């Protein structure tokens, strides 16, 4: 049996840079990885992560990020999905990133 283990390198600088610019364009794969890793970290240390709230807008954003990764198993051949972001979604993404960075700065020592 073979296991395909993917190592994920996550740059906090990329998150900080996005917060400074707050553009409506960003890498869905990066942000989804950021969200998932921070969620796991928060759970591991008993912290509440903003991105884990059961809010309709956060669920919608997460779904758009997921589909924006264009995984071969769910994306029709020859097609690509590029999410368009509303102003309120951008504000929520900023809150997710800000809270994620706060959790990293609190629990990870460099």
Q: Does some domain include residue 51?
A: yes
2 pLDDT band, cuts 50/70/90, is low
Q: Tell me the backbone φ, ψ of residue 78, rounded to 5 degrees.
A: 80, 0
Domains of the chain: total: 1
Q: Does some domain include residue 1?
A: no
Interval 5-25: pLDDT, tens: 566 778 899 999 999 988 778
Tell me the DSSP string of 29-71: HHHHHHHHHHHHHHHHHTPPPGGGS--HHHHHHHHHHHHHT--
Q: Does some domain include residue 61?
A: yes
What pTM was computed for the model? 0.88
Interval 25-84: pLDDT, tens: 889 999 999 999 999 999 999 999 999 999 999 999 999 999 999 998 888 899 999 999
Say whether 77 sits in a helix, a strand or coil. coil
Domain that holds residue 69: 47-110
Q: Does some domain include residue 20?
A: no
DSSP summary character for residue 74: T
With beta carbons less than 8 A apart as the criterion, state whether 31 and 93 touch.
Answer: yes
Q: Does some domain include residue 92?
A: yes
Q: Does some domain include residue 105?
A: yes
């Amino acid at each position: 049996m073979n296991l395909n283990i993917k190592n994920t390198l996550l740059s906090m600088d990329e998150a900080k840079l996005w917060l400074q610019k707050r553009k409506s364009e960003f890498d869905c794969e990066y942000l989804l990885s950021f969200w998932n890793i921070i969620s796991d970290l928060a759970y591991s240390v008993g912290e509440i992560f903003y991105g884990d709230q059961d809010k309709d807008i956060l669920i919608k954003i997460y779904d758009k990020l997921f589909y924006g990764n264009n995984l071969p198993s769910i994306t029709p051949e020859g097609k690509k999905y590029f999410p368009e972001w509303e102003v309120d979604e951008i504000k929520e993404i900023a809150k997710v990133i800000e809270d994620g960075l706060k959790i990293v700065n609190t629990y990870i020592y460099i």
